[in-house]
Amino acid sequence: MKNIRAAAAVLSYLVIVCLAGYNLRGQLFGKSMSAALTNSISSAPAQAAPEPASTPGAQSDLKSQPETTPQLAAQAESSPKEKAGLPTTPSPAGKTKDTHSQQSSVPVAGNGAVDVGERLPDFLLIGLNGNTLNESALRGHKTLFIIVSPTCPHCQKDLKLLHQIENDYPSIEPVYASVAQRDQTIPLADMTGEGDHLYTGAMDLARSLGVSGVPFVMLIDEKGVIRLIKKGELDEPTFRDILGKFSHGQPVAQLPKIMPSDAALTVTNFFGEQA
C-alpha cells in the first residue's frame, strides 16, 4: 500500500515538473538552443535551394540605406544562410509553402541588436487593461510597434499624434510598449488617450534589442518580420508616409539611421533625459 502511495506521489511530482519544464523550455535553455534547432532545420534547404526572392520591401530596405551599418554588413558577410532565409512575400508558387517553415528561417533579434528582416525575440507584455501580448500574437496582422517611456517627451508627442491618425490605418495594429511599470505608464495613457494600446514590461525586450533611446519605432509585417526601424520622434508627414505605404503593402524604405547630432534632438533615454 505504501509502495503504491509512493509511486503515485512520484508520478504526480514528475508530471508537474515535466509540465513546468515543457512550458519553460524556451526560457530555461534560451535562444541558443532554439536558434541551433532552427539553424539545423533551415540550413539544409537554405543550402540546397537557390536564394529566394526577397520582398521588394526588404530589398529596398537594404538598398535604400545610405550607409550599411557595420552590424548589417557583418550579418550579410557572415551569415549568407540567414540572408537567404529572409522572409518573402510569397510568389504564386511560394504560397504553397507553410508559414512555419518560412518562420523558422527568419533570424531572431536579440543579444543587444535588432535589424530589418529579423523577428522579435519572445516577450510578454502586460496591457494596462490586464491583457497580455506575446511575440506570436503579432502574427496575422501588420503592427506598428513602438517602445516608449512615459517620461520621454518625444514619446508623448508621437503617441498623441498617432492617437489622432491611427484610425486612418485600420489594418495596422498599434502596440506601444512601455519600459516603465504600470503605475508610471498610466499617466502616459491618460495624456495620450492610448490606454488600449499601451503595454508594460518592455524593459527586458528593450535591453535584448539593444535599444538605448526611445521612441523606438518598428513596423512588423503579418509574419512577424520587422520591416522598418526608426529611432526618435517622427513628424506627421513621415508617419503618414510609412503607415500609408505599409498598410497598402508597398515597400517601406528604411529611413536613414539617426545621426548622433540628430539624436540629441529627438531621442530620449529611458529615464526621460535627452540623449
Q: Is 30 in the site for other proteins (CB under 8 A)?
A: yes
Q: Is 100 in the site for other proteins (CB under 8 A)?
A: no
Q: Is 74 in the site for other proteins (CB under 8 A)?
A: no
Q: Pick the piece of the chain touching other proteins (CB under 8 A) from 31-39, 97-105, 181-189, 212-220.
A: 181-189
Which one, 46 or 138, has the nearer CB to other proteins? 138
Q: Is 129 in the site for other proteins (CB under 8 A)?
A: no
Q: Is 33 in the site for other proteins (CB under 8 A)?
A: no
Q: Pick the piece of the chain touching other proteins (CB under 8 A) from 124-132, 140-148, 215-223, 262-270.
A: 124-132
List beta partners, residue 142: 172
Which one, 186 or 275, has the nearer CB to other proteins? 186
User: What stretch of H or E contains 229?
Assistant: strand 226-231
Alpha carbon distance 178, 126 (integer Å)? 10
User: Minimum distance from CB of 177 to other proteins (Å)?
Assistant: 13
Q: Is 132 in the site for other proteins (CB under 8 A)?
A: yes
Alpha carbon distance 95, 190 (integer Å)? 44
Cell (9 digits) for 162 = 498617432
Q: Pick the piece of the chain touching other proteins (CB under 8 A) from 22-30, 60-68, 221-229, 242-250.
A: 22-30
Q: Is 36 in the site for other proteins (CB under 8 A)?
A: no
- 203 near 191, Cβ under 8 Å? no
Q: Is 9 in the site for other proteins (CB under 8 A)?
A: yes
Q: Is 98 in the site for other proteins (CB under 8 A)?
A: no
DSSP type of residue 179:
S
Binding-site size for other proteins (CB under 8 A) equals: 25
**What residues contact 40, with CB distance under 8 A and at least 6 apart?**
none
The sign of the dihedral angle between the CA atoms of 161, 167, 171, 177 is positive
Q: Rule CB under 8 A: which of 201-230 touch other proteins? A: 201, 204
Q: Is 32 in the site for other proteins (CB under 8 A)?
A: no
Q: In which order are the strands placed within the sheet that holds 172-178?
A: 132-134, 124-127, 198-200, 172-178, 142-148, 216-220, 226-231
- Continuous H helices in the chain: 2-23, 25-48, 56-63, 70-78, 80-84, 99-104, 153-165, 182-192, 203-209, 236-247, 260-266
Which one, 27 or 167, has the nearer CB to other proteins? 27
Task: Give the residues lining the site for other proteins (CB under 8 A).
Answer: 5-6, 8-9, 12-13, 16-17, 19-21, 23-24, 27-28, 30, 124, 126, 132, 134, 181-183, 201, 204
